A and B are shown apart, each in its own frame.
Chain A
Amino acid sequence: MADKIFRVNMTTLTTSVEEVPAAWAGHGGRGLTSTIVAEEVEPTCHPLGKRNKLVIAPGLLSGTVAANSGRLSIGAKSPLTGTIKESNAGGTSAQFLAKAGCKAIIIEGQPTEDKWYSLAVTPAGITITEETKLVGKGNFDVIKSVNAKFESKVGVLSIGQAGEMKMAAANISVQDPDGGLRSSGRGGLGAVMGSKKIKFISIDPQDGTVEIAQPEEFKAANRAFAKALVGHPVSQALGAYGTNVLVNIINESGGLPTKNFTQGQFAGHESISGETMADIITQRGGKVKHNCHPGCVIQCSQVYNDAKGNKLTSGIEYESIWAMGADCCVDNLDQIAEADQIMDDIGIDSIETSVAMGVAMEAGVLEFGDGAGILRILREEIAKGTGLGRIIGNGTGSVGRSFGITRVPVVKNQAIPAYDPRSIKGMGITYATSTQGADHTMGYTIATNILNVGGQLDPLSKEGQVELSRNLQIATAAIDSTGMCLFIAFAALDDETCLPALIDLINARFGIALTGDDVVNLGQYILKTERKFNIAAGFTEADDRLPEFFYDEPLPPHNVVCDFTGEEIDTFWNF
């Protein structure tokens, strides 16, 4: 089935199926969402207005049997940061969209009437239907109701109450294989979907399949690729403990932001560690290993049950546990898991919202460590859209501005995640220079040696450190275009067969002959395209900065501060 662009105009309530422009043909995932947003969205537009567009794109390998290729990219101008944004998640939708022959969905315009709608995607295109029954409902009700309408498995994208209220921390939820949720969490893309008055999107691929240009070569490459992933020790650690395995390590390094970034270690870290969580999950009959999309061979997700053995939440990540745990000083995993479940249902980013809670705690809205208070605010304030709920639901910066707090951990108004840049300076460079606000996944641990992007400068010099961070972000942008989970990076780092096998997969899928240099060029193109959009939107080098307190307040226990000057950070864009 040939890929098409599925376009939806919510002003005229019309849809069309279009040929893929030649300039977009080589793109997928983040590369495609950023290309389309940069080409079709006015950079200065209001993110929640009719001129913004929501772009949804599977990766280049989505819909194939390639291991770990189920990530879905969603892009727009972000209402949280004002920058271009791409947020990706697992779940089943990327694979179903690709099988439906959809290279990207572009949603533009805004309804003129105050009505809500749903979209139904099939290989024939998209139909728009007015929606009344599920408006005001949480994501889990939406997922359950939509699935009941279909005999076969479908993909579902949905927003909860936070998206309906256009909160800047609202996410877009993606159904996973077990009816749980994954989140395109960062940047408030749920608010953009809400501004288009779309409650949910169903994706029924029917009997659609993805064509493989060179099937035998594809199979061989996938075997080598999957073997490299499965055998790697980091893959095994992720399967045994999930990403939450990082709590103890980051705490030990003194880089676990605690009590709204005033400390680098959390006294209650053992209570929320991945090791503890794995034991609890096992004892309560949950699942330590769980896949967020079919074909994942790492299975870093998990199913966390409550004390009675009933499912409480799934896919709870280190960054969410850190934010609600150490940053808010809550050492109770059950409360953290319950908060995660509520945030999934409301449809709000668990990093942004939890860091916002930490700032609210500093403001005296509630006490540090008050897990019950957090649950109440999520249920009674954010879900119901009270004044306080909207302040917190609009993110960390919103809370800081509303309460006059100066210790506000954001870059480009997006909350800094779980690695304090004073103790882990490489993270700080990434946070400052990312085109999308503070984001730990923007500069991942990529096989710099294989891609020859390790850098030419002394890695211990500041210039060398900026160069390494730049090259990691270039390589990450390219990986984000494939539909691959970033967790392939660990095997790609250590196993010299892994990354070549990934390139072989792309080549066999399309019958082309990409090289490692092409991958690097793609990553550079994506970063430059995103940067160009941001500059046109009014961003300058002054926005590529960490908050002042990282320079002024030494972080215990190592008592370190950030030491990169603005001029040094600005060398990032010298390519």
Chain B
Amino acid sequence: MKEQHPLKSVTLTVQPDSLHLFTTVLQAGVEIKTPMNTEIGFFLCQLPGFSPEYIQATIETIFLNGTPVDDLNLHITGEHPVLALSAAMPGLAGAIFRKNSIHAALRTRTAVQPQTDREENTLTVTLKLFNSIAKERGEDLLQTGIELSTPKLLTFLSKRSGLCENITDIEIDKNTVPLTNLSDSLAGCQTINLKIITSND
């Protein structure tokens, strides 16, 4: 088994009314560890704010490894599984991809990625939250803390320079770091534990 180094903990404190703007980082995907053979529905229910009712009624479009999903009892498989969640989407394509859609017959059938044999008993799932799902459930997730690829955070902040005006404090492993030094301070870190909280928290 590979030696595991603790990830650096990065905490961004932002203006209270700006937290929702940071939920867009979730479209890039966060890393979540889960036991092998976890069902999609069970996996989602472990996330903050993801009640069975919310999952059933609001998350209308789900992709597992790029393939639309109808059955929440499906096991998460694949070497590096990617799970993407969205609300109901427009257009014929949006309808085709909706859970249990009558238009599902118009999908292209794609190969399901099998589960390979592996020593570890956990999988790392990349979870992407799109559109209103990110807006509605993203703040809780960010405040609770997420595991995120460092380049994804740095790219997000560099492409949204306006967002950075809302950041009032940055801590890495409880040490304050200026925004200008964030990239250098995370050099060599492929993944971080990220929390985004508000100055009211």
Contact = CB atoms under 8 A, between A and B. Distances in A.
A243 B87 contact: no
Contacts of A282: 21
Interface string B52-73: 0000001011010011100000
Nearest to B159: A271
A424 interface: yes
A426 B58 contact: no
A246 interface: yes
B131 to A, nearest CB: 5
Interface string B76-98: 00000010101111111111110
A465 B105 contact: yes
A426 B132 contact: no
Contacts of B88: 233-234, 237, 490
Contact of B134 (A249, A275, A469): A275
Interface string B98-132: 00001111111011000000000000000010111
B131 A558 contact: no
Contact of A425 (B27, B66, B94, B107): B107
Contacts of B87: 233-234, 236-237
A253 B27 contact: no
A449 B102 contact: yes
A426 B86 CA distance: 21
A233 B108 CA distance: 25
Given A237-B89, A426-B107, A558-B108, A279 B160 contact: yes
Interface string A545-564: 00000000000011010000
A229 to B, nearest CB: 13
B162 interface: yes
A282 B97 CA distance: 29
A468 B105 contact: yes
Nearest to B105: A459
Contacts of B103: 426, 445, 468
Interface residues of B, number: 44
B160 A440 contact: no
A8 interface: no
A310 interface: no
Interface string A427-461: 10110000000001001110011000010000110
A134 interface: no
Contacts of B63: 249, 252-253
Contacts, number: 157
A495 B101 CA distance: 14
B106 A425 contact: yes
B28 interface: yes
Most chain A CB neighbours (cut-off 10 Å) among B82, B90, B160? B90
Interface residues of A, number: 59
A249 B27 contact: no
Contacts of A253: 63, 66, 68, 93, 97
B111 A233 contact: no
B19 to A, nearest CB: 13
Given A248-B86, A249-B89, A249-B94, A274 B106 contact: no
Nearest to B84: A252
Contacts of B108: 255, 422-425, 558, 560
Contact of A558 (B21, B106, B110): B110
B92 A445 contact: yes
Given A234-B90, A275-B134, A426 B84 contact: no
B25 to A, nearest CB: 9
Contacts of B58: 233
A424 B90 CA distance: 15
Contacts of B92: 419, 426-427, 430, 440, 443-445, 472
A367 to B, nearest CB: 21
A249 B103 CA distance: 16
Interface in A489-527: 490, 493
B60 A429 contact: no
Contacts of B82: 252
B131 A274 contact: yes
A443 B163 CA distance: 40
Given A270-B27, A558-B110, A427 B93 contact: yes
B86 A419 contact: no
Contacts of B149: none
Q: Please list the 4 inter-chain residue pairs (A to B) with the smallest Cβ-Cβ separation, ordered nearest first.
A: A426-B106, A459-B105, A445-B95, A558-B110
26 contacts: A233-B87, A234-B87, A234-B94, A237-B89, A237-B90, A237-B132, A240-B135, A246-B94, A253-B97, A275-B131, A279-B24, A279-B160, A318-B91, A426-B103, A426-B107, A429-B106, A440-B92, A445-B95, A448-B102, A459-B105, A465-B105, A465-B106, A490-B90, A557-B66, A558-B111, A560-B108
Given A237-B132, A246-B89, A419-B92, 14 more contacts: A234-B94, A241-B131, A243-B91, A249-B63, A249-B94, A249-B97, A276-B24, A279-B160, A419-B93, A426-B105, A429-B106, A490-B95, A558-B67, A558-B110
